[in-house]
Amino acid sequence: MTEEANSHFTLEQCRRFYSEELRIVAGLESPDLVSAFARVPRERYLGEPPWKFSSGNSLRQSSYRTTSSVCDVYHDVFVALRSEKFLNNGQPSMIARLIAALKLSPGKRVFHCGCGTGYYTAIMAEVVGSKGSVVAAEIDSALAEIAVTNLMNYDHVKVLNRDGADVNPVSCDAILVNAGVTHPHPAWLDCLSEGGVLVLPLSVGRNLGVNDAMVLGITRRQDHFAAELLSIMTIYSSPSMRDPMLQSILNNSFESHAMLRLKSVRKDDHERTDTCIVHAPGFCLSAAAI
């Protein structure tokens, strides 16, 4: 791939424009995060061209367009990894917002659950730098193998070919879950450092595969967990962290707008009260502030 991406812009200019586009669209305030999007070569994580991409939220195959121009992947578009399964390298502005919610800085320790081919893992690795660390898990063996190759130049990144729900991460400062789940894994909450953030997509809807998800930002405050609703996104469901009955309850709380009251995630045993939005064994999504 030459530096001349097309007749109008160099590849460096495309990457810089892309990072500035994300700064505006995603409301990024961290210069380190914006710079990471300008430095990491996205095309390296997408397979060989031609690429199939889409600028919309439709998961229909007909929504994809095809390009061999590297400049085209430096826009706020998702790019197909496996178009027949609607498996994509996520919409950059959406994932950028979620990474921003982690409040990363140099030296922080990150766990990335569902890393795909490693693109957003690389973004986070750039932000935390060589004094930080990133552990990434990917259940799909083919994608995990690609991620290992893509991330081999990052000595502070480790890729595991495992279900992220089976990984018991050591103490870390940030966790990004890239799969729809119906409940937080206890180990994810327990391993967070003081002030650490877990970004967690909770599946709603009735499907078994691709679903809408309410994305929560959960911040540890000593032995308590403050929570807020960050966004809505479409995402593949976790194969192991999805309870259909609980998903139905989450869907009802979403449709009734009850989740707008969310203030905390509770792990303590307690009787159901009027502050309990979703009261389930082991956790409660609560309107009670910590």
pLDDT digits (tens, 9 = 90+) for 138-195: 999 999 999 999 999 999 999 999 998 888 888 999 999 999 999 999 999 999 999 9
Token pair of 154 as six digits:
């990052």
What total of structural domains would you count in the chain?
Answer: 1
The pLDDT value given to residue 6: 54
Does residue 209 lie in a domain region? Answer: no
Does residue 1 lie in a domain region? Answer: yes
Buried b (16+ CB within 10 A) or exposed e, 91-101: bbbbbbbbbbb
Does residue 26 lie in a domain region? Answer: yes
Pairing of strands 109-113, 133-137: parallel
Does residue 71 lie in a domain region? Answer: yes
What tens digit of pLDDT does each residue of 4-34 get? 455 578 999 999 999 999 999 999 999 999 9
Does residue 3 lie in a domain region? Answer: yes
- 44 - beta bridge partners? none
161, 170, 86: which is closest to 133 by C-alpha?
A: 170
pLDDT above 90 coverage of the chain, percent: 75
How far CA 148 is from CA of 124, 129, 157, 217, in Å, comes to 15, 18, 9, 28
The pLDDT value given to residue 7: 55
Does residue 6 lie in a domain region? Answer: yes
The pLDDT value given to residue 82: 87
Does residue 220 lie in a domain region? Answer: no
The pLDDT value given to residue 57: 57
**pTM higher than 0.85, yes or no?**
yes
- The average confidence (pLDDT) of the chain is 91
**Structural domain range at position 48:** 1-91
Does residue 157 lie in a domain region? Answer: no
